[in-house]
Amino acid sequence: MTPRTGTTAQGDESFRRGRLAKATEFLDAADTLRELGGESGVLTSTSPFANAFVVQCVLSGIAAADAICVARTGRYSRTGAHDEAVPVLRAPAGQAVAKHLEVLLAVKNKAEYNAKSVSDTDIVRAGAAAEALESAARSD
């Protein structure tokens, strides 16, 4: 799918670096929450900070996606809306990378706004997706 015009904004090298630094910072924060709330470093849905961990993963993934998009096209998605942000990343980076953002955006609302907590699977998948996106942004 071609990204719709008007949903992207321009970014330069300094923007890319700033977003990458934030992707790393949010991932560090997620790690800290995992260490604080987890049993032997493993978070579950009933652990303290389970939802906060996933939110940090989502923030990290969105920041990393921006860094990847700007490195390749000079533009990034202006919104975190699934139908807009994922195609903007998929076009230059491919489905394998975009899939990680899909995973994170799928759990975003659940972690941020729902009354129900994220599941064990959400926690594992969000952590892996955020790490993969941050790593891809560093390697780009």
Partner 1 sequence: MQLQRPFASVTTAVDGDVLMVLSRAAGPMTIADISRLVPDRSYAGVRNSADRLTEQGIVNGFRTGRTKAFALNPDHLAAGAVRALADMRRELLERLTVGCDGLPLRYAAVFGSGARGEMRPDSDLDLCFVVIAGRRPEAEDAVHALCERAQGWTGNVVRPVVFDESEIDAADPLLASVARDGVPIAGDGRWLSRKLRTLAG
With respect to partner 1, which residue has the nearer C-beta, 44 or 135?
A: 135
Q: How far, CA to CA in Å, does 75 sit from each of 15, 16, 22, 115?
A: 10, 10, 17, 35
Q: Which is nearer to partner 1, 13 or 112 (CB)?
A: 13
Tell me the backbone φ, ψ of residue 85, rounded to 5 degrees.
-70, -40
Nearest approach in angstroms of CB 67 to partner 1 is 11
Query: Could you tell me if 61 and 133 are in contact, meaning their C-beta atoms sit under 8 angstroms apart?
Result: yes
Q: What values do phi and psi take at 42, rounded to 5?
A: -115, 120
**Smallest distance, partner 1 to C-beta of residue 100, A:** 14
Measured from the CB atom, the residue of 91 and 117 that comes closer to partner 1 is: 91
Whose CA is closest to 64, among 114, 30, 111? 30
Binding region for partner 1 (CB under 8 A): 2-3, 10, 12-13, 24, 27-28, 31-32, 35, 72-75, 91-92, 131, 135, 138-139
CA dihedral of 83, 124, 128, 109, whole degrees rounded to 10: 20
Which C-beta is closer to partner 1: that of 28 or that of 112?
28
Residues sharing a CB contact under 8 Å with residue 46, sequence separation 6 or more, in sequence order:
117
**Shortest distance in whole angstroms from residue 116 CB to partner 1:** 28
Q: How far is the CB of 138 from partner 1 (least distance, A)?
A: 5
